[in-house]
Amino acid sequence: MKQSFKKALVVALVMGGTTSVWAQGLKDAYKDYFRIGVALNQRNIADAEQQALVKREFNSITAENDMKPQLTEPNEGEFTWEAADRIANFCRQNGIKLRGHCLMWHSQIGEWMYKDNPTKEVLFARMRKHIHAVVSRYKDVVYCWDVVNEAMTDDKNAMDPYRQSQFYKIAGDEFIAKAFQYAREADPKALLFYNDYNECDPVKSQRIYNMVKAMKQAGVPIDGIGMQGHYNIYGPTEKEVDDAITLYKKIVKHIHVTELDIRVNTEMGGQLRFSRGGVTVSDSIKQHLADQYARVFKVFRKHKDVIDCVTFWNLGDRDSWLGAANYPLPFDSEYKPKLAYDFIKNMKPAKWELPTAPAPKPRQQQMERPQFNARMAFRPIEGVKDDFKPSEMNQPGQEYPMVNSQGYVRFRVMAPDAKAVSVSLGLGGQGGTKLRRFFDGSWIGTTEGPMDEGFHYYHLTVDGGTLNDPGTQNYFGSCRWESGIEIPAHDADFYAMKNVPHGNVQQVLFWSESTKQVRRAMVYTPPTYGQNKKEKYPVLYLQHGWGEDETAWSRQGHANLIMDNLIAEGKIQPFIVVMTYGMTNDVKFGTIGQFTAKEFETVLVDELVPYIDSHFQTKADKWNRAMAGLSMGGVETKLITLRRPETFGYYGLLSGGMYAPEDIKDKSQVRMIFQSCGSKENPDGIRKSVEALKAAGFNAHGYVSEGTAHEFLTWRRSLKEMAPLLFKK
């Protein structure tokens, strides 16, 4: 890559001189519209070739992480400037303006900011000192600041529009006003922005608008709104982006797109893989990426009167917080321009524009369509067995989607007026299945290859819009309800519905004083529960992953069926399983390292555990309580069990990290540690961790699910292996 890059640069210099080389950049193509920016890390500014790329293409720079509060002031009064200075000096030396990001954010901020439960006056003093120090140091090169980042909630049902951060709990929305006041004091010339994501969502955009409008009416110096722009190839639509900008420009004169990337993978929840490579992106997906970039830039150009800058969130795919497999940027992992770069630079229209809605057709004409014939529609495919059956997760009476014995999936969707229909079934940027139109108005197709065994989320994309498949049931797994499909596993018997005594999964509602709302938990009680009013049971608190909720373990995970079958086979003693929402879905990827789970710890340990012990027949002591979680629920489990050793006696991390012997101060505080993952994840890490724990004297067990990755089949198998190890003295 380095040699070819140098040759291309030499040829360009010889052919056209230095001026022509620099004239080729995005910044020059958009000189009559707005600045083109990029977020950089330390590697980017240390590599000569990447420096040349930055100078050719961009005229605004953002420090990806190095100016965030935790990096600049990790401890109160202890400032670490080296990394931020290197970014600032690169800008100074090359005459490139710097966007400051960011001053106040609930994530990636030192815990000292909230130390000792400060009054709002103490909090404001700490904020002012930090903001003045950072802004004053870089005022010669920074032309604008993201002053407050992500203060509004994504919960559409929340009565309070604000994120329940520590800032907000201490000071209400006054912390926002104070942050802008202090930033204006420190640099009266810099433009000051409020910055947020999901900014095109109609509910959240209105909340952002209302907040900024109210602040400005109160005299708060907010100059602009930062639209982060973390999109995917299917959304938001042109109209959604246009509507958001049109709304915001009513109250501000400056809009920046601050963190633009467009991922090709729309799957989320536990199945979102942030791989750093090894995945081939199909030509059709590359075209979809180029089209979506073309669509959003068309809208940006339309609003050049208010948009001052559009910043890409990283230089190339290898730098992206989304991972290379999500293919999110105009430059690939080798910093070579993609088709999307060409579409952006040359302002090409999307190949497939979103269509306008056609006029309704007469009912008579719709009724006259030919009848569907499956044998005519689905021609034999070499090597694919024609033994397709309706998916076990279909809605009652629905024939499609279908699954065959090899794991191929077949779809049929009625969309007679659509121009393009695809299915996002697949993982980590591999794309999905493009359907073809049949003469009866349906869209049909079969996956190109067999899907992995187990559960998969998916959805339809119809003319650019994201829809669920009406043929199958919906499952909460992407911070939204998604379609779900099950590819029968060879070992599915352990979670099959059998003729055995079954327990009960019930919903319980409990008041949370810390969050000031009624919260929900799903509680599994074994078949014998309640028969003897004096019999008490141990309890497993079982957590879901990011993007999911309290229903995930019983619906996607079949935890209740696994328990029923193990109890019927005499492999475990009966115990209760409690599943509640882990408050994970407000966490943004790229910031997981700063996730503390402290708010959820209060809900779980101080509110839910006492509620369960007072309303169910439980053995209410730590040696009869276990906590386990999958993926991010495992992260929560590790954090909470280490901080609250008096509450739980058994720990389980399912694709959720690992304990080290030095993490646990007192070996007597835990009776058993269980750790697992899929063989396509980090099996060596699990084995080494378990060996180290055993060598240190812990009762540790490890399990690797053969042939699986970060998915529910891994976690179903893990629960089956872990459950018999719990509550043994």
| Residues 99 and 156 placed together within one structural domain of the fold | yes
| Residues 35 and 60 placed together within one structural domain of the fold | yes
- Spatial contact of 289 and 355, defined as CB atoms under 8 Å apart: no
232-290 residue pLDDT tens: 887 899 999 999 999 999 999 999 999 999 988 654 433 444 433 445 677 878 888 99
More confident residue, 452 or 244: 244
| Residues 299 and 440 placed together within one structural domain of the fold | no
| Residues 483 and 508 placed together within one structural domain of the fold | no
Identify the pLDDT of residue 593: 60
pTM: 0.57
- Spatial contact of 639 and 653, defined as CB atoms under 8 Å apart: no
What CATH code is carried by the domain that includes residue 225? 3.20.20.80
Residues 328-333 have a mean pLDDT of: 96
More confident residue, 410 or 8: 410
404-414 residue pLDDT tens: 999 999 999 99
| Residues 417 and 532 placed together within one structural domain of the fold | no
Residue 12 included in any domain: no
**Cβ neighbour number for residue 238 with a 10 Å cutoff:** 18
**Measuring CA to CA, which residue among 448, 400, 404, 406 is closest to residue 426?**
448
Give the range of the structural domain holding residue 510, as residue numbers without chain letter. Answer: 492-725
Torsion angles phi and psi, residue 545, rounded to 5 = -105, -175
Cα–Cα dist 477/630, whole Å: 13
Identify the weakest region by mean pLDDT among 262-276, 576-590, 606-620, 625-639. Answer: 262-276
| Residues 56 and 205 placed together within one structural domain of the fold | yes
CA distances from 557 to 506, 624, 675, 709 (A): 16, 23, 17, 15
Q: Which of 462, 487, 512 is the last residue of a domain?
A: 487
Cα–Cα dist 556/716, whole Å: 9
Identify the pLDDT of residue 436: 85
Q: Is the peptide bond before 236 cis (omega within 30 degrees of 0)?
A: yes
Dig out the tokens for 119 from the structure: 């009054």
What one-character DSSP code corresponds to residue 195? E
195, β-bridge pairs: 149, 226
Report the sign of the C-alpha dihedral through residues 348, 351, 357, 360, in that order. positive
Q: Which of 313, 345, 377 is the last residue of a domain?
A: 345
The DSSP result for 260-278, as a single string, is EEEES----GGG-----S-
Q: Which of 472, 487, 502 is the last residue of a domain?
A: 487
| Residues 247 and 332 placed together within one structural domain of the fold | yes
Residue 103 included in any domain: yes
How many independent structural domains does the chain possess?
3
CA distances from 572 to 190, 429, 526, 564 (A): 64, 40, 11, 10
Residue 537 included in any domain: yes
Identify the pLDDT of residue 10: 36
Identify the weakest region by mean pLDDT among 60-64, 269-273, 685-689. Answer: 269-273
| Residues 37 and 184 placed together within one structural domain of the fold | yes
| Residues 547 and 461 placed together within one structural domain of the fold | no
The DSSP result for 304-368, as a single string, is TTTEEEEEESSSSGGG-TT-GGG--SSB-TTS-B-HHHHHHHTTPPPSSPPPPPPPPPPHHHHHT
Residues 175-190 have a mean pLDDT of: 98
- Element of type H or E holding 621: none
| Residues 128 and 252 placed together within one structural domain of the fold | yes
What CATH code is carried by the domain that includes residue 403? 2.60.40.10
Beta strand ranges found along 334-453 (DSSP E): 389-390, 402-403, 409-414, 421-423, 433-434, 436-437, 442-446
Identify the pLDDT of residue 361: 44
Mean of pLDDT over the chain: 89
Residue 226 included in any domain: yes
- Backbone Cα Rg of the chain: 27
Residue 701 included in any domain: yes
Cα–Cα dist 310/38, whole Å: 8
**Cβ neighbour number for residue 349 with a 10 Å cutoff:** 11
Residue 377 included in any domain: no
Identify the weakest region by mean pLDDT among 183-192, 259-268, 574-583. Answer: 259-268
| Residues 139 and 167 placed together within one structural domain of the fold | yes
How far from chain centre, in Å, is Cα 672? Answer: 31
Residues 685-708 have a mean pLDDT of: 96
Identify the pLDDT of residue 11: 34
77-86 residue pLDDT tens: 999 999 999 9
More confident residue, 178 or 588: 178
| Residues 715 and 613 placed together within one structural domain of the fold | yes
Identify the pLDDT of residue 592: 56
Residue 369 included in any domain: no
Residue 712 included in any domain: yes
Cα–Cα dist 713/492, whole Å: 9
The DSSP result for 536-600, as a single string, is -B-EEEEE--TT--TTHHHHTS-HHHHHHHHHHTTSS---EEEEE--S-TTPPTT-GGG---HHH
Judged against a pLDDT cut of 80, whether residue 54 lies above it is answered with: yes
Angle between helices 202-217 and 238-248 (to 10 degrees): 10
What CATH code is carried by the domain that includes residue 683? 3.40.50.1820
103-113 residue pLDDT tens: 999 999 988 99
Residues with active-site annotation: 150, 259, 631
Residues 593-620 have a mean pLDDT of: 93
User: Each residue of 51-68: b (16+ CB within 10 Å) or e?
Assistant: bbbbbbbbbbbbbbbbbb
